């Protein structure tokens, strides 16, 4: 034991010695080697120092034992000394003062030699094992308590889940019962609706028939009023003896067909022709001369005199200012077709619009609610153009199927099909007298058709590419065409000859139209360029770049001061000529393909590739 204490002391002294090669800046005093080192004090102080060293060694031993206890090796394999056992016991229960007294007295006895560490022996292994078992038992009891708590929580959670399961099971049964009840109700409602469906279909058919009858009745009434007005004018002419009197009509301004003329009108026409022949016997007109010699087709209609007064011009003078300042707003959007709307035309007197579409159909709609009045089926390809008869009782349509069809609303169908073009027909127009129809085709030609004789009177050659649009000047025999060869042409419908050609567009001309006065032409091309032309000067007066997207159609309002343009960028361009302001109206989901003004110029209508017609007011 003493040797161990000495070794511990020498270890501690060696632990706190400073090596000679220390590199810190502190100046240590040199201790002579021959000086004797002596402890201050008596033997009691020496024993206290040794006791302190022994206590430190004991603490190190306790720490080593603790590390052994935490190791994988079992403690029971290492027998414990008696003094270590008591020290561990006192440390475990926190009896520090008793531990100090025990260690002091124990090491004094050992120092005096009363007994040695070997004499005390070791703690029996059974006792140590019992202590381990007690410790394990305590740990197991703690684990048991924890497991009981966890089991109680799991039990509560299980009971809660059982209650929730029962609730959801009951709710599921209730939902199944509700579903079964709803299924029964739906079946009953379906059966009930099936019983009413024939009645609804009959009511719908009756409603459509009533609408058509209403429209036809109004048309017949208008026709009767026009006939009365014509008879009154005839009586006035007979009384006054005037042979050359301009017929006064409200809206149609048509030359009556020979098969529809009454006895009085026939007599008046014969007298008029005889007087004209007597007055012009000295002059020779090629067109009239050919008719005097004899007609090859006796049913051919006569072209009206080209000096008729446009009655609409009186109304146009009332529009000294545009009806709208260009601030158009979308008032309604009607889904009229499933496919694109290619053409659009407004009735000359009523709140009715006709649309032609890629679905091979034309439809007649009532404004502004969009109720369908009539549907026309007969074309075998998409429709490209449509135009009302001046009286509003008939309709002409053109299609990619190379035909031009004439429809009579009173007969609910097509009454005439005009065939002769080799390729798609792009556009059609009706003469103000109602006896002639003009058509423009992709085959580079345009044709003048006689409705009465049901034949082509003239085929107009001259364009080098597709003829995209055609239009009669109102109450005139002048025809305007636009072509993909970048030119516009004026034609004489009586001879089928070209009168003048306008040059200036750099791209394909898609559409051209007259204003109400007939002195200005508006045209547009595939680059979005819009031009205004002075007919009297035969020169362009204005160019507006509304591109770069192609322009589909251009139209004047009744005042001639506002021009509307249908653009492929999905907008309607509105140009105010007086202020030179160009605005855009957007409401379509695709390109705008057709555009027109309401017959009272109260609204602007546009048809788009999304199958809708937008009303701007």
Q: Give the Cα separation of 68 and 104 in Å (integer).
A: 26
Can you list the residues of the chain whose pLDDT is less than 50? 1-24, 26, 28-29, 31-41, 71-76, 242-265, 268, 278-295, 319-325
Q: Are 397 and 362 in contact (CB under 8 A)?
A: yes
Q: Give the Cα separation of 562 and 85 in Å (integer).
A: 116
Rounded to a whole number, what is the largest CA-CA distance in the chain?
177
Q: Give the Cα separation of 510 and 512 in Å (integer).
A: 7
Q: Give the Cα separation of 336 and 331 in Å (integer).
A: 16
pLDDT at 317: 53
**Strand-by-strand arrangement of the 571-576 sheet:** 551-556, 562-567, 571-576, 581-586
Q: Which two tokens stand for residue 193?
A: 């609706």
Q: Give the Cα separation of 362 and 378 in Å (integer).
A: 9
The b/e string for 450-476 (b: 16+ C-beta within 10 A; e otherwise) is bbbbeebbbebebbeebbbbbbbbbbb
Place of tokens 């004499």: 119
Q: Give the Cα separation of 478 and 243 in Å (integer).
A: 25
pTM for the structure as a whole: 0.56
pLDDT at 175: 94
Strands 371-377 and 361-366: antiparallel
Q: Give the Cα separation of 137 and 142 in Å (integer).
A: 9
- Tens of pLDDT, residues 107-141: 888 888 887 767 777 777 777 788 788 889 999 99
Q: Are 442 and 484 in contact (CB under 8 A)?
A: no
Q: Give the number of other Cβ atoms within 10 Å of residue 496's Cβ.
A: 18
Q: Are 402 and 425 in contact (CB under 8 A)?
A: yes
Q: Which two tokens stand for residue 513?
A: 């139209």
Q: Give the Cα separation of 399 and 360 in Å (integer).
A: 8
In whole angstroms, how far apart are CA 535 and each of 297, 312, 461, 513, 576?
A: 35, 19, 21, 12, 20
Q: Give the Cα separation of 289 and 613 in Å (integer).
A: 49
Nearest 5 degrees, angle CA 126-CA 132-CA 133?
85
Helical packing angle, 82-92 and 96-112, nearest 10°: 160
The b/e string for 112-122 (b: 16+ C-beta within 10 A; e otherwise) is eeeeeeeeeee
| Sequential DSSP letters for 294-335 | --SSTTPPPPPPTT---THHHHHHH-SS-SS-S---EEEEEE
Residue 403, strand partner residues: 419
Q: Are 614 and 608 in contact (CB under 8 A)?
A: yes
Q: Give the Cα separation of 193 and 197 in Å (integer).
A: 6
pLDDT at 87: 86
Find out whether the peptide bond into 431 is cis, omega within 30 degrees of 0. Answer: no
pLDDT at 442: 95
Residue 402 dihedral angles phi and psi, to the nearest 5°? 70, 15
Q: Which two tokens stand for residue 420?
A: 């002769």
- Listed residue (276, 332, 267) closest to 304, CA to CA: 276
- Listed residue (408, 442, 407) closest to 427, CA to CA: 442
Q: Give the Cα separation of 150 and 156 in Å (integer).
A: 10
Place of tokens 């190190």: 60
Q: Which two tokens stand for residue 587?
A: 């409401």
Identify the burial level of 254 via C-beta atoms within 10 angstroms of its C-beta, where 0-12 means exposed, 13-18 middle and 19 or more buried.
Answer: buried
Q: Give the Cα separation of 602 and 370 in Å (integer).
A: 17
| Long-range contacts of the stretch 225-230 (C-beta < 8 A, 24+) | 225/250, 226/250, 226/251, 226/252, 226/391, 230/256, 230/265
- Listed residue (341, 334, 390, 393) closest to 366, CA to CA: 334
Residue 608, strand partner residues: 592
Helical packing angle, 82-92 and 43-70, nearest 10°: 80
Q: Which two tokens stand for residue 560?
A: 């001639």
The b/e string for 130-167 (b: 16+ C-beta within 10 A; e otherwise) is ebeeeeeeeeeeeeeeeeeeeeeeeeeeeeeeeeeeee
Residue 193 dihedral angles phi and psi, to the nearest 5°? -65, -40
């Amino acid at each position: 034991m003493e040797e161990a204490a000495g070794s511990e002391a020498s270890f501690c002294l060696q632990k706190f010695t400073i090596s000679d090669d220390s590199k810190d800046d502190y100046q240590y005093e040199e201790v002579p080697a021959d000086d004797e080192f002596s402890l201050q004090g008596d033997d009691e102080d020496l024993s206290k120092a040794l006791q302190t060293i022994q206590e430190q060694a004991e603490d190190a031993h306790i720490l080593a034992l603790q590390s052994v206890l935490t190791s994988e090796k079992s403690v029971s394999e290492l027998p414990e000394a008696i003094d270590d056992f008591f020290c561990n016991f006192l440390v475990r229960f926190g009896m520090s003062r008793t531990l100090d007294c025990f260690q002091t007295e124990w090491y004094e006895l050992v120092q005096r030699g009363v007994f040695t560490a070997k004499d005390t022996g070791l703690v029996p292994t059974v006792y140590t094992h019992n202590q381990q078992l007690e410790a394990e038992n305590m740990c197991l009891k703690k684990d048991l308590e924890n497991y009981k708590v966890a089991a109680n929580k799991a039990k509560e959670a299980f009971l809660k889940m059982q209650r929730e399961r029962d609730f959801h099971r009951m709710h599921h049964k209730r939902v199944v019962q509700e579903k079964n009840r709803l299924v029964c109700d739906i079946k009953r409602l379906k059966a009930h609706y099936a019983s009413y469906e024939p009645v609804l279909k009959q009511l719908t058919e009756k409603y459509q028939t009533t609408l058509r009858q209403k429209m036809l009745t109004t048309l017949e009434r208008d026709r009767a009023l026009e006939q009365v007005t014509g008879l009154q004018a005839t009586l006035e002419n007979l009384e006054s003896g005037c042979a050359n009197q301009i017929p006064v009509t409200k809206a149609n301004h048509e030359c009556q067909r020979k098969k529809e003329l009454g006895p009085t009108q026939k007599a008046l026409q014969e007298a008029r022709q005889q007087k004209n022949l007597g007055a012009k016997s000295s002059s020779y007109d090629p067109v009239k001369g050919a008719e005097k010699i004899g007609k090859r087709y006796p049913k051919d209609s006569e072209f009206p005199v080209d000096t008729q007064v446009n009655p609409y011009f009186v109304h146009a003078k009332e529009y000294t200012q545009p009806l709208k300042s260009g601030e158009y707003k979308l008032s309604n959007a009607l889904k009229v077709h499933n496919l694109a709307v290619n053409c659009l035309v407004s009735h000359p007197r009523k709140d009715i619009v006709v649309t032609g579409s890629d679905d091979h159909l034309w439809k007649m709609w009532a404004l502004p609610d969009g109720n369908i009045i009539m549907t026309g089926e007969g074309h075998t390809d998409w429709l490209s153009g449509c135009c009302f008869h001046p009286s509003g009782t008939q309709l002409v349509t053109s299609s990619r199927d190379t035909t031009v069809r004439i429809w009579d609303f009173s007969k609910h169908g097509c009454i005439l099909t005009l065939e002769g073009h080799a390729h798609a027909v792009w556009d059609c127009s009706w003469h103000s007298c109602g006896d002639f129809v003009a058509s423009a085709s992709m085959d580079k030609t345009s044709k003048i058709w006689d409705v009465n004789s049901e034949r082509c009177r003239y085929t107009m050659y001259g364009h080098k590419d597709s003829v995209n649009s055609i239009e009669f000047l109102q109450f005139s025999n002048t025809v305007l065409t636009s072509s993909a060869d970048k030119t516009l042409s004026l034609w004489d419908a009586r001879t089928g000859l070209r009168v003048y050609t306008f040059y200036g567009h750099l791209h394909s001309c898609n559409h051209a139209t007259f204003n109400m006065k007939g002195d200005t032409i508006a045209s547009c091309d595939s680059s979005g360029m819009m031009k205004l032309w002075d007919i009297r000067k035969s020169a362009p007066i204005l160019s507006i770049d509304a591109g770069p997207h192609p322009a589909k159609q251009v139209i004047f309002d009744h005042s001639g001061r506002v021009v509307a343009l249908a653009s492929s960028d999905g907008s309607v361009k509105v140009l105010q000529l007086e202020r030179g302001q160009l605005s855009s109206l957007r409401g379509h989901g695709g390109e705008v393909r057709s555009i027109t003004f309401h017959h009272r110029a109260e609204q602007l209508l546009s048809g788009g590739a999304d199958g809708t017609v937008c009303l701007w007011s």
